A and B are shown apart, each in its own frame.
Chain A
Amino acid sequence: MAAPLALVLVVAVTVRAALFRSSLAEFISERVEVVSPLSSWKREWLKAFHCWTWEYLHILEQYFMKVSFCHPGWSAMAQSRLTATSTSQVQATPLPQPPEQLGPQTPLIIYLFHFLIDYAELVFMITDALTAIALYFAIQDFNKVVFKKQKLLLELDQYAPDVAELIRTPMEMRYIPLKVALFYLLNPYTILSCVAKSTCAINNTLIAFFILTTIKGSAFLSAIFLALATYQSLYPLTLFVPGLLYLLQRQYIPVKMKSKAFWIFSWEYAMMYVGSLVVIVCLSFFLLSSWDFIPAVYGFILSVPDLTPNIGLFWYFFAEMFEHFSLFFVCVFQINVFFYTIPLAIKLKEHPIFFMFIQIAIIAIFKSYPTVGDVALYMAFFPVWNHLYRFLRNIFVLTCIIIVCSLLFPVLWHLWIYAGSANSNFFYAITLTFNVGQILLISDYFYAFLRREYYLTHGLYLTAKDGTEAMLVLK
C-alpha cells in the first residue's frame, strides 16, 4: 500500500512545484479565498516589519533584516497594489489598513520561519505531504478499529437480522486511507493554499497529527498536538472533547458521570493539554519577553478587526454593523463554533471520530477568517464515510453548489473590484451560498450517519404500525 501513497505524493509535489514556478503563483497568493489576514504569508512579513517598534523585533533582528531586504515594507506593498490594480481602481480596492497591533501570527511560527524563510516553498510542500501521511495512517488504524468493533457487535448479535447490506467489508475499506490521502493532496483547495503559502497548511498538519496520535492512543502526544493546534488558531480547542471521548473509548472507560475512572482520565488528559499549552505560551513569552502577542493573535481572531473579504460570514456583516452593536454580535458569531460541541458530544459520544469530523467542518465554516485550506481538511474525510453514501439525500445538488460557488468567487471578485459592474453584495451572496452549501452538506452527512446507526440496530426494512414502509424523520 505504500507504493500508491508514494505515487500520490510524487504527483502532488510535482503539481505544487510546477505551480510555484508558474506565473499563477503570484495571482493565487493574492486571492482572498485562499489567504486570510491570519494566514497570509505576505501579510505576515509586512506586519512583522511594520511593527518594528515592538520588542520582539530586536530579538528576531536578523529575520527582519532579511525581511526588510527583500520586502521594503508597507509603502512598497501599497505601491505594488497600486501598480497591480491601477490608480483608478485603487479607490475601489479595499486596501488592507496598516496594522495597529502586533502581527496576527504566533511568535513560534515567526521564529520557525526565521530559520526556514529561504525554504518556504519546500516547507509548505512538506507540511502538506506530512498532513496526508498522518491522515493516511490515522484512517488506516481507525478502519481496523471500526472493523473489530463491527465484528464484535456481529458476534454479540447486536445488529438487526436484515442489515447484511449495511455491514462493511474489508474489500471496500481497503482503499479508504489511500483515498483520504488522495482527497487531501490533490484537492484543488489544498493545492491553492499550498501555492499561496497560506499558514493554514501548518494548522492542518497539527490537527492531522493530533488525529493520528489520538487514534494511536497516545494521550500525551495527542494533548501536545492539540495544544499546538490551539496555540496556532484557537478554534481547535473544541477538538478536545472528541479527542477525550476517543481516548476513553480506546481504554474501555465508560462515559458515565458516576464512574471514577472517567473523571480521573479526563482530569489527566485535561492537565496534559493545559500543561502543554502553558509551556508553549510561556515559551513564546520568553522568546519575546512580552505578553503582547496574546491580545494581538487571539484578540485578532476573536474580535475580528480585519474585514478584508473572505469566504466566511463575518466580514460583510461587521462591515455593515454599527460599531455600537459590534461586540454583542461578535460574541454571537463566535459562539457558533463552540456552541455545537456539547449537543454533538451527547449525540455522538459513541462515535468520536465522526464527531471530530463534524467539529472540524464547523470550525472551517464558522471561524472568523476561514480559507479554502480549512475546507480542504474536512473534505479529506469524505472517503471515510463512503458507506453513508446511500443515505445521503442531496449530495449531487450540494456538490454542484460548492463547485459553482468556488468558480464564482473569482468571477464576482473580478466584477466587483476590477470591472466595477457588480458590488460587494454579489460576492457576499456567493459566500453565503457557499457556506449554506457546506452546512447542508455536513448536516446531510450527520443525518445519514444517524440513520445508518438506527437501521443497524432496528433493521433496514422498517414498517410502521399499519404495515406500510416507514420513513425515518430527524427531529
Chain B
Amino acid sequence: MGLLSDPVRRRALARLVLRLNAPLWALPVAWLERTMRSVGLEVYTQSFSRKLPFPDETHERYMVSGTNVYGILRAPRAASTESLVLTVPCGSDSTNSQAVGLLLALAAHFRGQIYWAKDIIFLVTEHDLLGTEAWLEAYHDVNVTGMQSSPLQGRAGAIQAAVALELSSDVVTSLDVAVEGLNGQLPNLDLLNLFQTFCQKGGLLCTLQGKLQPQDWTSLDGPLQGLQTLLLMVLRQASGRPHGSHGLFLRYRVEALTLRGINSFRQYKYDLVAVGKALEGMFRKLNHLLERLHQSFFLYLLPALSRFVSIGLYMPAAGFLLLVLGLKALELWMQLHEAEVGLEEPGGAPGPSVPLPPSQGVGLASLVAPLLISQAMGLALYVLPVLGQHVATQHFPVAEAEAVVLTLLAIYAAGLALPHNTHRVVSTQAPDRGWMALKLVALIYLALQLGCIALTNFSLGFLLATTMVPAAALAKPHGPRTLYAALLVLTSPAATLLGSLFLWRELQEAPLSLAEGWQLFLAALAQGVLEHHTYGALLFPLLSLGLYPCWLLFWNVLFWK
C-alpha cells in the first residue's frame, strides 16, 4: 500500500504497465485457425498495430497490436459477390469467449447446409473495436485512421449485412440489441425488425437499451417506459460513439447490429441453442435478400422494439427550434436596418456631400476580431491537447491522458476569460449596433451548424438545439446579465455533456454522485478525443471547431461593452 499511496508513483506504475501493454489474455490465434479449418472454412489471419495518440486508461491500452482471425464459408450456390458477416469482438479479457464458441458452432452447422447464396464470414477480432476497424479498413482497402495492418489474403464480395455478438456467459436471460453506430448512423430498420421477429418466434426475451419492452401501451407506464428508452437512445446516438463493433460497419454502408447476451437474476434462462437458432434464422433471411434493404428506413427513433418514431414526426420539432433562431436573426436584421435608415435621415439633410454613415463599416469591422479570436480558440481546443501532452507531462505531475483532459478543460475555460472584442469605439449614435450585428452572425452560424448536424445525426442536433437555442436567443448585454451568464454557462457544450451523463445514468436507474459524475465526465472527454483519432468519430471536432466558437460568440455578446 505504501508504494502506491503516492499518486505520482501510482500513475508512473500505471503508465509502465500501459507501455508494456502485456496482455493478460491474448487471442488463441493458432487454435482458432485450426478449429475453423477443421470446420471447413477458408481461414485467414490479419495482424494489425496502432499507436493511440495517448494512453487509453479506460481500456488500459496504448500501443496496440493484435491479430484478427476470420474464416470464409464459400456459398455453394453463387459466385462470391456478396457476403454476410458474423463477428465476435474480443477484448483484453476472456469475457466474450462464449460468443466465440457459439460462432464456431454456428460455422460448423452452416457448413453442412446447401442453401447459402452469399458467402458468410466468421470474424473474430482482437482488441474489440480496434480490431474490427483494422479488418474493415483492410477489407475495403482504405486507410482512414492511420491503422497499420497487413493486407487481407481472402475476400468474399460486398458485405450486405453484419451481426456482432457479445456473450458473457453460456446461459442468457435476455438479448439486448444495440443499433447506434459511429456518428449516430443507424442500420436499416428492417434488420432490427428481422431480429425482433426471430426473437418472438423463438420466445427469446429481448431488450432495447437494457429496458424490457412495455406490454401495456394503454396505461401510463407503457408510454413512460417507452419515453425512457427513447431518451436513452437519443443520448447514445448523440454521443456518436460506436456502441458495439457493428457501429463501424455502418460507415461502409453495411447494415449491422450488435446482440448482447444479458445474464441477470431472472429465473428463466435460455441456453445458447436458442440464441443460435435466432441467429441462424436471421442469416437465412439475409441470405435470401436479392437487393439492398430499402433506403427509406434509416431515420428513426425507437421507444420500443416494435414501435418507431419516423422522421416526419421528429424532424419538425428540430425545425421549429431552428426557426426560433431564424426569426430572432430576422428581427435583429430588421432592427439594424431601421437603425441605419434612422441614422441616414438626419444625416441626409445637410447636403449631398455627407459621407456614407460609418455605422455599417464599423459594424462589420468590429465583427472580424471576435470571430477570428473565437475560431482560433476552437482550433486551439482541437489541436493543442493532443499536441501538447508531452510538454504537459514533463512539466506537471500528470499522466498523458490526464494531461489531455486537463488541457482541454483549461483551454475551454480560458476561452471565457479572453477579451474578444477589441473595444473599438462604436459610434455613439447607435451603441447597440455592434453587439446586434455580432449576435446576428452568431445566430445564423448556430442555426446553420445545428441544421447540418440534425440532418446527419438527429439526436445530437436536437440535444444541442434544446439546450443552446433558448440561451442563444436570450443573450444580450442588457437586463439581468448574471442570470443570462448562468444560463449560457449551463447550456455550453461541456455542461451539456455533463448533464447528459447524469441524465443517462439516471435513466439507466444507476444515479451518479457528483464525484462519480465528474470522473465519468473526465473519462468521457478522453474517450471522445480518442475515438476521434482512432475511429474518426466527429463529435469532438464538431464541438471544438464549430459549436464552442459559436457559443463563445454568444458569450461575447453578453459581455459586450
Contacts and interface: CB of A to CB of B under 8 A. Distances in A.
B373 to A, nearest CB: 18
B363 interface: no
A19 to B, nearest CB: 15
A167 B352 contact: yes
Interface string B446-469: 001001100110000000000000
A3 interface: no
A88 B84 CA distance: 12
Contact of A415 (B141, B157, B353, B456): B456
A89 interface: yes
A169 B355 contact: yes
A86 to B, nearest CB: 4
Contact of A84 (B142, B333, B455): B142
Secondary structure at chain A's binding surface: helix, strand, loop or mixed? helix
Nearest to B337: A396
B52 interface: no
A171 B358 CA distance: 11
Contact of B452 (A84, A89, A396, A411): A411
Nearest to A412: B455
A88 B253 contact: yes
A89 B141 contact: no
Given A87-B140, A414-B456, A165 B253 contact: no
A97 interface: no
B444 A403 contact: yes
Nearest to A408: B452
Interface string B179-221: 0000001100000000000000000000000000000000000
B141 A83 contact: yes
A172 B141 CA distance: 58
B142 A86 contact: yes
A305 interface: no
A412 B351 CA distance: 52
B356 interface: yes
Residue of A89, A400, A412, A419 with most partner-chain B CB within 10 A: A419
Contacts of A82: 141
A377 B489 CA distance: 43
A403 to B, nearest CB: 7
Residue of A89, A167, A423 with most partner-chain B CB within 10 A: A89
A84 B143 CA distance: 9
B78 interface: no
Contacts of B273: none
Contact of B298 (A171, A172, A403, A420): A420
A335 interface: no
A330 B157 CA distance: 40
A421 B329 CA distance: 31
Interface string A60-87: 0000000000000000000000111011
Nearest to B445: A403
Contacts of A88: 140, 158-160, 252-254
A164 B351 CA distance: 7
Nearest to A403: B448
B482 interface: no
Contacts of A169: 352-353, 355-356
Contacts of A411: 452, 455-456
A422 B140 CA distance: 22
Contacts of B354: 165
B428 interface: no
Contact of B253 (A89, A164, A172, A396): A89
Nearest to A173: B356
B429 interface: no
Interface string A155-174: 00000000011010101100
Contacts of A422: 295
A82 B295 CA distance: 21
Interface string A265-281: 00000000000000000
Given A86-B140, A407-B452, A411-B452, A421 B348 contact: no
A165 B344 contact: yes
A91 interface: yes
A87 B158 CA distance: 6
A419 B326 CA distance: 28
B253 A419 contact: yes
Interface in B365-403: none
A92 interface: yes
B529 interface: no
Contact of A171 (B185, B254, B356, B448): B356
B495 to A, nearest CB: 26
B330 interface: yes
Contacts of A419: 185, 253, 298, 456
B212 to A, nearest CB: 29
A63 B329 CA distance: 54
A316 interface: no
Residue of A396, A412, A423 with most partner-chain B CB within 10 A: A396
A404 interface: yes
A418 interface: yes
Contacts of B353: 169
A420 B142 contact: no
Contacts of B558: none
B124 interface: no
A83 B140 contact: yes
Interface in B251-285: 251-254
Interface string A21-56: 000000000000000000000000000000000000
A396 B441 CA distance: 11
B530 to A, nearest CB: 20
Nearest to B341: A390
B88 interface: no
A172 B360 CA distance: 12
Contacts of A421: 185-186, 295, 298-299
Contact of A83 (B142, B451, B452, B456): B142
Given A88-B252, A415-B455, A172 B448 contact: no
Nearest to A166: B352
A87 B352 CA distance: 68
Interface in A371-405: 396, 400, 403-404
B348 A164 contact: yes
Given A86-B142, A92-B253, A419-B185, A172 B356 contact: yes
A400 B444 CA distance: 8
A33 B186 CA distance: 27
Contacts of B330: 396
A164 B159 contact: no
A165 B348 contact: yes
Contacts of B254: 88
B279 to A, nearest CB: 22
Contacts of A400: 326, 329, 444
Nearest to B157: A87
A415 B311 CA distance: 14
Interface string A296-334: 000000000000000000000000000000000000000
Given A88-B253, A419-B253, 4 more contacts: A82-B141, A89-B253, A172-B356, A420-B295
- Smallest CB-CB A-B distances: 8 pairs: A421-B298, A86-B140, A88-B158, A164-B352, A165-B348, A172-B356, A83-B141, A86-B252
Interface of B: 140-142, 157-160, 185-186, 251-254, 292, 295, 298-299, 326, 329-330, 333, 344, 348, 351-356, 444, 448, 451-452, 455-456
19 contacts: A83-B142, A86-B141, A86-B142, A86-B252, A165-B344, A169-B352, A172-B355, A396-B330, A400-B329, A404-B448, A404-B451, A407-B448, A411-B452, A411-B455, A415-B456, A418-B251, A418-B253, A420-B253, A421-B298
